[in-house]
Chain A
Amino acid sequence: MRLDDGASRAHYQRYARWLEGQPADRLAQKRAEADALFHRVGITFAVYGQEEGAERLIPFDIVPRVLPLSEWTQLESGLKQRVRALNAFIHDIYHDQQILKAGVIPAEQVLCNSQYRPEMQGVDVPGDIYAHIAGIDIVRDDAGEFRVLEDNLRVPSGVSYMLENRKMMMRLFPELFSGHRVAPVDHYPDVLLDNLRSVAPIGVADPTVVLLTAGAHNSAYFEHAFLAQQMGIELVEGQDLFVHDEAVFMRTTQGPQRVDVIYRRIDDDFLDPLVFRPDSMLGVPGLLTAYRAGHITIANAIGTGVADDKSIYPFVPEMIRFYLGQSPIIGNVHTWILRRKEDKDYVLAHLPELVVKEVHGAGGYGMLIGPAATKAEIDDFRRQIIAAPDRYIAQPTLALSTCPTFADLGLAPRHIDLRPFVLSGRDVTIVPGGLTRVALRDGSLIVNSSQGGGTKDTWVLEN
């Protein structure tokens, strides 16, 4: 928000003036109001490993994160480019595997990856789209450049917070919105539904779309219910669906009804107990048969995890060159691949200053943050790396950009990232902005909600 000399950056100036004029007690009161509202509306997430039915709020910060239109426009084209390449990659991997034949990515990296689904080999999906909904995590590096930290192509979540945070800001501070031209985001559910309908099986004129959830005890249940309601589609659990004659039906009070598109919010492993985990109670037996027969669209497609795995991430810029013949608009964060000997040697020599991530880990678990780790933790990680270097990548500790955030002692800088949601179907679309996550502990770089992160409203300012 501020330059080195303490002055506000241009697009924050109007907001900074407003903020200075706000008495502290009014802001404190608005924060309390926000908490009470989130509780009443039930915008909560379930916490794993705690008392059953425990629901917590994701802390909401009332200071927005602001992006000028010029920066957003560049980010938007970079995101579209990246997701197009990722979809082309997944299609290629499950068909001709040209990128492997060309030697751009080592074949065993892909084919021996636990996220590679041989069941998908040769299966055609409508429009060749696999990652219909992608959440791309973006950070800024030391030079202020945007970089992709991570691609989320399986069941990315968080978009409901993007929408609810905006609603909350407008409710708490309506005066801010008359003074700023903030690009709206509330049409996201319409765009999402349109996108899902556009990828229905060929020949279905008026497709029935449903949202498949693991149920009310899932950590993201609020979001599932919220999106289903906003789109006006049924929120189904595995037990509500069944497969008959290679087609999917839902059980309704008026008998079985055909389903054409499943926006699923459960992992591949749980989708079909006949093919994947046999103990899954969340899925639909026979779903994959209907899927392979082309009678149902599953969004995101099965097997997208092979493209967002941390071991594949370093190759995404190469994919953009390979499939699109373009140079990447947004780069990756520099990444050392520990299966390469010279990378491993460098990383082992520099552990205290790097971030080391397990390639299959998710949610901020299984990682080492060098600067914040104790000597014992570093030694422990060193042993793990030496034992299985293939399982790790390393990145520099980014000076993630910061944004003023309400902390216990008033406004203080906190690290943030940004997750825009990229929708692919007939076209590639992004509503302006995304979910800004913020690390609430001083100095912390972890923004995951399961690890004490919070969220902010994200503004793209129109000129």
Chain B
Amino acid sequence: MLSRTADHLYWMSRYIERAESLARLVDAHYRMSLLPHSVETLAKSLRSTMTALHMSEAYKERHETIEPRAVFEFVSLNRDYSGSIVSCLRSARENARAVRGSLTSELWETLNSTWLDARSLTARRSPSTDIGQFVEWVKERSHLTRGVTIGTMMRDEAFHFSRMGTFLERADSTARILTAHQSDLVPGAKAEEVPDPFEWSVLLRALSAFEIYRRVYRDVVTPFKVAQLLILRDDMPRSLLRCCKEVYQNLKSVANQQSSETERRAGEMHAMLHFTRMEEITAGGLPQFLEQFLARVRDLGERIATDFLLPPAEA
């Protein structure tokens, strides 16, 4: 397939996944804001999350203080900020439009109507636009997009590039959410030592991991187990291990003559997560681990771009 087509498909999926990740974060914090608890805890969580997502600068240009309502609106509905949820939905749709011929009509229509609805929603936005409802809707549209992708697309290169985008973005997003909460994931901390149980619910809910945690551990929430679940569980759909496995497998399906080093690095990342243990990670320091992981995700993204998406004129 055309390199440019692969590029658009890859970014289309990354943007939809990014919109969903942001929607999950807003959703988790929004629920938290409805509960009676310390305002400071919520602000702190928002602050560290925005820092981990590199959103603080852009936010500060528009607002002086971290005010939950303003943050939610900024992240969700701001059309002038390229990192907001609506902007991600627009970028996903623009990428899809550039290659609509390579998508099934069902997939194109799903992405197109998502954007049309988001646009009319933000155009006639009233002060009472329900953020909770909006992010819920974004999650549903993302679920739908993914379902339509899996349900209608041929299992060819187009599919694999799209899936690669999804999982690389998800790996990045999970690692950033963990980074935002790394201070609470101190090794050996007991549940009762954790400053605020709300933070756990934010973290776990943002990753659809709250119910899974209960099922897997049948135990109180401890930092160690949370980290283990979100980093090393192969059966946890948003864990780092799971994401790396999917990236590696999709990468293998599209391999070309020049991609062997990229494959090797993706495989190495997957093997490292597959065979390591939580104790090893904490021994080296969780922040250092996450930082290194994000750097490797970035490296992989760049290598995929040079190997497949922007190949030199004459090979």
Contacts and interface: CB of A to CB of B under 8 A. Distances in A.
Q: Say whether A and B bind each other.
A: yes
Interface of A: 39-42, 215-216, 221, 225-226, 228-229, 234-237, 239-240, 242, 244, 250-256
Given A216-B98, A229-B102, 15 more contacts: A39-B116, A40-B109, A41-B105, A41-B109, A42-B112, A216-B94, A221-B97, A235-B5, A235-B102, A237-B4, A242-B313, A251-B311, A252-B2, A253-B309, A253-B311
Contacts of B98: 215-216
Which of B4, B99, B102, B105 counts the most A-chain CB atoms under 10 A from its CB?
B4
B98 to A, nearest CB: 5
Nearest to B108: A42
A235 B99 contact: yes
Interface string B144-171: 0000000000000100010000000000
Contacts of B6: 253
Which of B105, B161, B309, B314 counts the most A-chain CB atoms under 10 A from its CB?
B314
Nearest to B93: A42
A228 B102 CA distance: 9
Given A42-B108, A251-B313, A239 B101 contact: no
Contact of A216 (B97, B112, B116, B257): B97
A292 to B, nearest CB: 21
B34 interface: no
Give me the 8 closest cross-chain CB pairs, A-B, nearest first: A229-B101, A228-B101, A225-B101, A253-B308, A235-B101, A225-B100, A255-B315, A251-B3
A321 B120 CA distance: 58
Contacts of B309: 253
A300 B261 CA distance: 44
Which of A216, A221, A242 counts the most B-chain CB atoms under 10 A from its CB?
A216
B283 interface: no
A263 to B, nearest CB: 13
19 contacts: A40-B109, A40-B112, A40-B113, A41-B112, A215-B98, A216-B97, A216-B98, A225-B97, A234-B1, A235-B101, A235-B102, A244-B314, A250-B2, A252-B1, A252-B2, A252-B3, A253-B254, A255-B256, A255-B311
A242 B1 contact: no
Give the secondary structure class of A's interface.
Answer: mixed
Interface in B92-123: 94, 97-102, 105, 108-109, 112-113, 116
B4 A240 contact: yes
A254 B108 contact: no
Contacts of B157: 253
B215 to A, nearest CB: 39
Nearest to A227: B101
A244 B314 CA distance: 8
A252 B112 CA distance: 26
A254 B313 CA distance: 13
Contacts of B102: 229, 235
Interface in B1-48: 1-6
Given A40-B116, A41-B109, A253 B3 contact: yes
A107 B98 CA distance: 44
A231 B308 CA distance: 25
A138 B248 CA distance: 58
A42 B107 CA distance: 12
Which of A40, A228, A244, A252 counts the most B-chain CB atoms under 10 A from its CB?
A252
A364 to B, nearest CB: 27
Given A39-B116, A236-B2, A251-B3, A256 B315 contact: yes
Contacts of A221: 97
Contacts of A256: 314-315
A234 B109 contact: no
A256 B256 CA distance: 12
Contacts of A235: 5, 99, 101-102
Contacts of A42: 97, 100, 108-109, 112
B146 to A, nearest CB: 19
Contacts of A236: 2
A100 B288 CA distance: 81
B106 to A, nearest CB: 11
A256 B108 CA distance: 27
A42 B113 CA distance: 9
Contacts of B112: 40-42
Contacts of A216: 94, 97-98
Contacts of B256: 253-255
B9 to A, nearest CB: 10
Contacts of A240: 2-4
A256 B312 CA distance: 10
Which of B4, B101, B309 counts the most A-chain CB atoms under 10 A from its CB?
B101
A347 to B, nearest CB: 46
A233 to B, nearest CB: 9
Contacts of B109: 40-42
A39 B4 CA distance: 26
Which of B6, B97, B157, B257 counts the most A-chain CB atoms under 10 A from its CB?
B97
A41 to B, nearest CB: 6
Nearest to A249: B314
A124 B262 CA distance: 47
Nearest to B98: A216
A260 to B, nearest CB: 16
Given A39-B116, A40-B116, A225-B100, A255 B2 contact: no
Contacts of B313: 242, 251
A239 B2 CA distance: 11
A250 B102 CA distance: 16
A39 B117 CA distance: 11
Interface in B293-315: 308-309, 311, 313-315
Contacts of A254: 256
A236 B4 CA distance: 9
A228 B109 CA distance: 17
Which of A235, A236, A251, A253 counts the most B-chain CB atoms under 10 A from its CB?
A253
A251 to B, nearest CB: 5
Nearest to A245: B314
A215 B314 CA distance: 23
Contacts of A239: 4
B154 to A, nearest CB: 11
A225 to B, nearest CB: 4
Interface in B229-278: 254, 256-257
Which of A42, A236, A240, A242 counts the most B-chain CB atoms under 10 A from its CB?
A42
A55 to B, nearest CB: 9
Contacts of A251: 2-4, 311, 313
Contact of A253 (B1, B99, B101, B105): B1
B33 to A, nearest CB: 35
A234 B105 CA distance: 16
A250 to B, nearest CB: 6
B8 to A, nearest CB: 10
